């Protein structure tokens, strides 16, 4: 097996991002884009694309430029999500709307989206039409997921099934597209590329539940965001919805939306209920369910077993992360 070099792949991706030209006028528009992209991140989505390409073709670096479209699109969604969530921090640094203002952040997000589409031009000609069509469908779904997320803020009752569908749209489909596109660049058949989509879709569900889990149980210094932020905003996560399903949920309902409770008191009260209802363990079981499903689908892909094992280990690393 020719090894996949994470250092090489990440270095190449970061170099390509650094090389993007945002030294333009007006600086008030372009500098925030440069600032946000330079905040870094795990580059998980383009790495998934490169890994999927690697599964079918050792020359995985050829997928780098096209895969950047996914990373840049993801950053567009984050800039706008931060505005909608009124989030103060992203990756431990001030969000664009906090550092500048909301209007600049909106325009910076728009420019970032346009840059993402520019990078789809790097797709091989023979697959570009179909992959761009799939990308557009994915972009629609991500926006739909964000709207469902906002709708849930206004509803008293949200089922766990509705929550799973929301995170499928908001988070998981973009990961699915990442591996689908990488497989297509690696000359995989449509059947195998769709399997990779399903693999990443399930990892995406597990990943988002893990993200919600870390918001409650993570280390603030490592997590890079305010721990307990979802609790303070009454965000309907798998943890909260699971706790609300319990027979003794009256206390939790009384805490949600209570404006007379201090931040620390609210977090501590909700954590006490989570402890009582064994929510941490329930959430860990849910994450494992989707992780295991992803691995089972990966096993059916017609590709080198050692490469599949390598990708499985990467998924495991994602799910044991602290950030």
* pLDDT per residue as tens digits for the range 247-287: 767 889 889 878 888 999 999 999 999 999 999 999 999 99
Q: What is the mean pLDDT of residues 18-41?
A: 94
- Residue 220's pLDDT is what? 64
Looking at the structure of the chain, the number of domains it has is: 1
Q: What is the mean pLDDT of residues 173-200?
A: 98
Q: What is the mean pLDDT of residues 200-211?
A: 96
- Residue 256's pLDDT is what? 86
- The pLDDT > 90 percentage for the chain reads 82
- Residue 99's pLDDT is what? 97
Q: Is 294 helix (H, G, I), strand (E, B) or coil?
A: helix
Whether residue 305 lies inside any domain: the answer is: yes
Half-sphere exposure of 102 toward its Cβ, with a 13 Å CA cutoff?
6
- Residue 277's pLDDT is what? 94
Cα–Cα nearest to 48, from 303, 314, 291: 314
- Residue 132's pLDDT is what? 98
Whether residue 300 lies inside any domain: the answer is: yes
Cα–Cα nearest to 283, from 187, 214, 192, 202: 214
Q: How far apart are CA 272 and CA 283, in angstroms?
A: 16
| pLDDT 10s digits, 119-141 | 999 999 999 999 999 999 999 99
Report cis status (omega within 30 of 0) of the bond before 26: yes
Q: What pairs with residue 94 in β-bridges?
A: 89
At 229, the pLDDT band (50, 70, 90 cuts) reads confident
| pLDDT 10s digits, 138-171 | 999 999 999 999 999 889 899 999 999 999 999 9
Per-residue pLDDT at 232 exceeds 70: yes
Residue 239 in contact with residue 212, Cβ under 8 Å?
yes
| pLDDT 10s digits, 287-299 | 999 999 999 999 9
- Residue 221's pLDDT is what? 65
State pTM to two decimals: 0.92
- Residue 2's pLDDT is what? 83
Half-sphere exposure of 281 toward its Cβ, with a 13 Å CA cutoff?
4
- Give residue 43's domain range: 6-319
At 89, the pLDDT band (50, 70, 90 cuts) reads confident
Scan for tokens 């979802």, then name that residue: 230
- Residue 226's pLDDT is what? 60
- Residue 223's pLDDT is what? 55
Find the distance separating the first CA and the last CA of the chain, reported in whole Å: 30
Q: For all residues of the chain together, what is the average pLDDT?
A: 93
Q: Where are the beta strands (DSSP E) in the chain?
A: 89-90, 93-94
b/e sequence 195-219, b meaning 16+ C-beta within 10 Å:
bbbbbbbbbbbbbbbbbbbbbbbbe
- Residue 283's pLDDT is what? 97
Whether residue 1 lies inside any domain: the answer is: no
H helix intervals, 20-87: 27-37, 44-56, 64-85
- Residue 289's pLDDT is what? 98
Residue 284, CA distances (Å) to 45, 207, 265, 269, 280 in order: 23, 11, 25, 21, 6
CATH number of the domain that residue 231 is part of: 1.10.600.10
Whether residue 96 lies inside any domain: the answer is: yes
| pLDDT 10s digits, 99-119 | 999 999 999 999 999 999 999
DSSP state of 93: E
- Residue 63's pLDDT is what? 98
Q: What is the mean pLDDT of residues 193-205?
A: 98
Per-residue pLDDT at 322 exceeds 90: no
Per-residue pLDDT at 225 exceeds 60: no
């Amino acid at each position: 097996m020719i090894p996949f070099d994470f250092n090489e792949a990440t270095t190449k991706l970061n170099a390509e991002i650094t090389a993007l030209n945002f030294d333009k006028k007006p600086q008030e528009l372009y500098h925030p884009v440069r600032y946000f992209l330079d905040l870094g991140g795990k580059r998980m989505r383009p790495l998934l694309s490169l890994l999927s390409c690697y599964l079918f073709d050792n020359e995985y670096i050829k997928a780098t430029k096209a895969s950047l479209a996914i990373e840049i699109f993801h950053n567009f969604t984050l800039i706008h999500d931060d505005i909608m969530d009124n989030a103060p921090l992203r990756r431990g640094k001030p969000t664009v709307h906090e550092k500048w203002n909301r209007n600049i952040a909106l325009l910076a997000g728009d420019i970032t989206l346009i840059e993402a589409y520019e990078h789809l031009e790097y797709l091989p000609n023979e697959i570009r039409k179909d992959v761009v069509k799939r990308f557009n469908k994915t972009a629609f779904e991500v926006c739909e997921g964000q709207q469902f997320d906002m709708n849930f803020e206004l509803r008293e009752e949200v089922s766990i099934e509705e929550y799973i569908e929301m995170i499928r749209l908001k988070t998981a489909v973009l990961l699915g597209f990442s591996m689908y596109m990488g497989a297509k660049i690696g000359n995989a058949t449509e059947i195998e590329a769709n399997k990779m989509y399903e693999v990443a879709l399930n990892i995406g569900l597990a990943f988002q539940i893990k993200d919600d889990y870390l918001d409650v149980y993570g280390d603030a210094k490592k997590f890079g965001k305010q721990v307990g932020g979802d609790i303070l905003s009454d965000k309907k996560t798998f943890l909260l919805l699971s706790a609300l399903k319990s027979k003794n949920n009256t206390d939790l309902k009384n805490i949600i939306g209570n404006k007379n409770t201090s931040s620390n008191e609210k977090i501590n009260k909700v954590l006490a209920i989570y402890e009582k209802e064994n929510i941490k363990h329930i959430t860990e079981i849910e994450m494992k369910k989707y992780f295991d499903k992803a691995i089972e689908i990966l096993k059916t892909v017609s590709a080198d077993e050692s490469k599949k094992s390598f990708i499985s280990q990467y998924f495991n690393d994602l799910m044991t992360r602290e950030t």
